[in-house]
Each structure stands twice: as C-alpha cells, then as structure tokens.
Amino acid sequence: MAETRSLDGRAPAQRPLSPHLQIYRPMLTMMMSIVHRITGAANYFGTILLAWWINAAAGPSGYARFQWFAGSWIGRIILFGYTWSVIHHMLGGIRHLIWDSGRGFGANEREWLAAANLIGSIAITIILWVIGLLAMGGSQ
C-alpha cells in the first residue's frame, strides 16, 4: 500500500523503517548468529562431497579420483573449510540447544558462549587436521 495517501491528500508520512543489520555496531554474539546460518548453508552444499566420497568407495578408479581431489591444494582448502564449518555449526547448535532449555541468556553467559563457539571451532578443527595428517603419515 505504498501509494496510499493520507486523508487530507498529502504524501504518506516518511516513517522510520525497523532497524536492520547496518544500523548496529557489529557484536560477537551477532556475528556468531550470522556465521551459524552461513556455516549451515555451507554444510548443506558440503554434503555433495560426503555423497561423492561414500559412492566413490565402491570402486578403485572412482576412489582414486576422489583421493586426487582430496589431496589437491584446492581440495585440501575446501575440506579444511568444510571441517571448520561443520564443527562451528555443531558447537553453535549446542549453544542453541542450551538456549532452548532457557539457560545461557545472561550478559556474561552469552558473550562467553559466543567466544567459546569461535575459539572452540578453530581449535578443534586444527586438532582434527593434525590427527588426520598424522594418521595419513605426514605429507601424503
């Protein structure tokens, strides 16, 4: 109803719109909320890799193709990002489940949870990759 005029025939009043993202100073809790959604979307498309890996395991040539991709530098970067994205979304999800129980809404708690989410996801991703690269026997 944008063209609606007021009763006396004047143009509609320019009322303020509800504040949106660009109005606010970025805060950690807000950034973690946005990142939770972005990592969820990334994980969504990452499942293509999961389905590829599972089905590639059926035969040597198909698995060689997957291993070539996974071992390439672009494949490594994508898989590292995917690992972090999954871990971050999982920790963020646990945070949301805590909130669902009605806990963790205090000023200190929510800041602490947001920081733990970010630091935890980075730390766990690096630990998993160190374990993974060691399991593969170093460089290859």
Contact set with other proteins (CB under 8 A): 37, 40-41, 43-44, 47-48, 50-51, 54-55, 57-60, 63-64, 86, 90, 93-94, 96-97, 100, 128, 131-132, 135-137, 140
User: Closest Cα partner for 92 from 109, 125, 122, 114?
Assistant: 114
Min dist CB 74 to other proteins, Å, is 18
Min dist CB 25 to other proteins, Å, is 23
Min dist CB 110 to other proteins, Å, is 19
Min dist CB 6 to other proteins, Å, is 26
Q: Which is nearer to other proteins, 90 or 118 (CB)?
A: 90
Q: Which is nearer to other proteins, 37 or 103 (CB)?
A: 37
